[in-house]
Amino acid sequence: MRHSVSPMTTPSSSEGHWVGGIGRVGDADTAYPVAHELIRRFNDGMNDRLACPHLQTNPDQPQFWVEAVPELIACLNCTATLAETEQQRANSCCVMCGRHDALRGVTVTAGGVVMRGGVCADCEASAGIAL
């Protein structure tokens, strides 16, 4: 079996269109500054965000969002698209200070949306995630 592999993965029209319309997330009941920052960024970009086709047909499922790819929101099966886009972009920056550095991944869930961002070592303490 040969598989054709395309080097670029973008939201594909063969799977339908990615459109906007996913609602706003309320403030999480959390003491973590990084959670507030991720939610703020998520809400800031909500007006021009594209949702994968599956979220349109079945919005009643977890939604995934990556801070480095703020314009897309995906269902679980489409998180590969988010990850590949993130890798191609390779511009992930610390959510707290904006530095492009080695980051520890942080995941925040609020309002049915799983939000992921990265925090650098210097900011782990202030972000509330230092161990």
Least distance to Zn ion from the beta carbon of 75, Å?
A: 3
Contacts of 58 (CB under 8 A, 6+ apart): 75
Least distance to Zn ion from the beta carbon of 124, Å?
A: 8
Choice between 94 and 110, CB closer to Zn ion: 94
Least distance to Zn ion from the beta carbon of 77, Å?
A: 5
Task: Look up residue 35 and give its two tokens.
Answer: 């959670």
The DSSP symbol for 29 reads S
Q: Is 46 exposed, middle or buried (0-12, 13-18, 19+ CB in 10 A)?
A: middle
86 vs 89: CA distance, rounded Å? 5
- Asked if residues 63 and 113 have their Cβ atoms less than 8 Å apart, the reply is yes
41 vs 57: CA distance, rounded Å? 25
> Could you tell me which stretch among 28-36, 44-52, 60-68, 85-93 binds Zn ion (CB under 5 A)?
44-52
Q: Within positions 90 to 109, which residues make up the interface with Zn ion, using CB under 5 A?
A: 94, 96-97
Q: Within positions 4 to 23, which residues make up the interface with Zn ion, using CB under 5 A?
A: none
Applying CB under 5 A, the site for Zn ion has a residue count of 9
Binding residue (CB under 5 A) for Zn ion from 25, 37, 123, 124? 123
Catalog residues that contact Zn ion under the rule CB under 5 A.
Answer: 52, 54, 75, 78, 94, 96-97, 120, 123
